[in-house]
């Protein structure tokens, strides 16, 4: 029972699984609908009088048509869900790149651009510009060390770029009052 519950809960987290399941169910419903229409047609064909054929055609035909419409709806919703996930991923990438570019353009309080060292950002690690891991790669983004730290990027172990200074939180009310 725990495995079924875990599988059911993971279904709502993983969008790819839901898309695949929706497509499989949609195709299964469409196939079952055509099979049901075929069986209804076969049942109606074995009876020689029209009044006896109507129950087969109506019940099997409407049930099969309902399954086909339900299957097509599941296929349509799966396609929409997959496209929405692609757009969400693209939006997140665009948001990250925009934040990186805006972080490079920050201006300090005296009006001059920040003088922090620039590093090359990867997906989860940042490097020095001359790191051997980056050889031959194109489309690299440079950001400041502070921005890399703010994004949660780790320092590369091969080139050992500088790390952002760790700041300690300021405690309020721990000092003495002046009189």
| Domain layout of the chain by residue ranges | 8-104, 118-155
What does the pLDDT read at residue 86?
92
What does the pLDDT read at residue 71?
96
Task: Assess whether pLDDT exceeds 70 at residue 114.
Answer: no
DSSP 3-state of 105? coil
Residue 13 is given by DSSP the state: H
What does the pLDDT read at residue 171?
56
Kindly give the interhelix angle for 50-104 and 15-45, rounded to the nearest 10 degrees: 170
Q: 13-43: buried (b, 16+ CB within 10 Å) or exposed (e) per residue? A: eebeebbeebbeebeebbebbeebbeebeeb
How far is 129 from 40, CA to CA, in rounded Å?
70
Choose the most confident range, by mean pLDDT, from 83-87, 115-119, 142-146, 162-166: 83-87
Q: What would the mean pLDDT of 5-34 be, rounded to a whole number?
A: 85
Mean pLDDT for the chain?
80
What does the pLDDT read at residue 179?
45
């Amino acid at each position: 029972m725990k495995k079924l519950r875990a599988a059911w809960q993971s279904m709502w987290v993983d969008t790819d699984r839901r898309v695949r399941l929706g497509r499989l169910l949609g195709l299964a419903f469409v196939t079952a609908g055509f099979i049901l229409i075929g069986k209804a047609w076969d049942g109606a064909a074995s009876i020689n009088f029209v009044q006896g054929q109507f129950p087969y055609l109506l019940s099997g035909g409407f049930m099969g048509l309902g399954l086909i419409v339900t299957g097509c709806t599941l296929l349509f919703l799966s396609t929409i869900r997959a496209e929405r996930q692609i757009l969400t991923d693209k939006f997140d990438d665009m948001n990250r790149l925009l934040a990186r570019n805006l972080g490079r353009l920050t201006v300090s309080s005296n009006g001059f651009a920040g003088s922090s060292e620039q590093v090359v950002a990867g997906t989860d690690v940042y490097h020095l510009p001359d790191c051997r891991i980056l050889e031959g790669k194109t489309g690299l983004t440079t950001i400041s060390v502070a921005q890399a730290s703010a994004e949660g990027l780790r320092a590369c172990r091969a080139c050992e770029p500088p790390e952002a200074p760790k700041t300690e939180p300021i405690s309020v009310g721990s000092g003495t009052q002046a009189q």
